[in-house]
Homo-oligomer: A and B are copies of this chain.
Amino acid sequence: MSSSRFAVTSDRLSLEPLIGLVSAPGDAAPGRPGAVATFLGLVRERNLGRRVLRLEYEAHERLAVRAFERIDAEVRARWPTVRLALHHRVGRLEIGEASVAIAAGSPHRAEAFAACRYTIERVKQIAPIWKHEYFEGGDVWIEGATADPDDEQARQEALGRSCA
């Protein structure tokens, strides 16, 4: 488990260290948080009617960490009191395992929730990470939209979903 706030790792993810990273005293954020919102994305056993056997995640790791740092900068610009941590797993994942873990700490809960939701939306939009689904009867790369961190419409969509 990485001790960085932003990481891509083949280790199993755990929220506890992320919560520690966003609630440590004495860092740049104004005091300790009163609220921590977190998100875990888990491998589901069914997708689009298929029975999933496992997933394999592949990343452009250095670019992914930079994308996470970019998202962090977007979050701080919008919610200056929020401190964020985000780990994404790569490699082979079994059903029920976590692919992504996010923690957002803030003095008050409104900002923590909004920043956490915004972050997962942006990760889906711009993190260079791909999911290879192995299901009963075949396998497929899950591809959605072109990754473009400068797409302002996508960013506004993420902001809208964060209920900010």
Q: Cβ of A116: which chain B residues have Cβ within 8 Å of it?
A: 37, 113
A31 to B40, CA, bound (A): 16
Binding site for B on A (CB under 8 A): 14-16, 19, 23, 25, 31-46, 95-96, 107, 109-110, 112-113, 116-117, 120, 161, 163
Chain copies in the assembly? 2
B45:A96 contact, CB within 8 angstroms: no
A34:B25 contact, CB within 8 angstroms: no
Distance in Å: Cβ of A33 to nearest Cβ of chain B: 6
Q: Cβ of A31: which chain B residues have Cβ within 8 Å of it?
A: 44-46
- Extra A-B contacts (6), CB below 8 Å, given A38-B39, A44-B107: A15-B15, A32-B42, A34-B41, A34-B44, A36-B40, A39-B113
The 22 listed contacts between A and B (C-beta, < 8 Å) are A15-B15, A16-B16, A25-B45, A31-B45, A31-B46, A32-B42, A32-B44, A32-B45, A32-B95, A32-B96, A34-B43, A34-B44, A35-B39, A35-B40, A35-B41, A36-B39, A36-B40, A38-B39, A39-B112, A41-B109, A110-B161, A113-B117
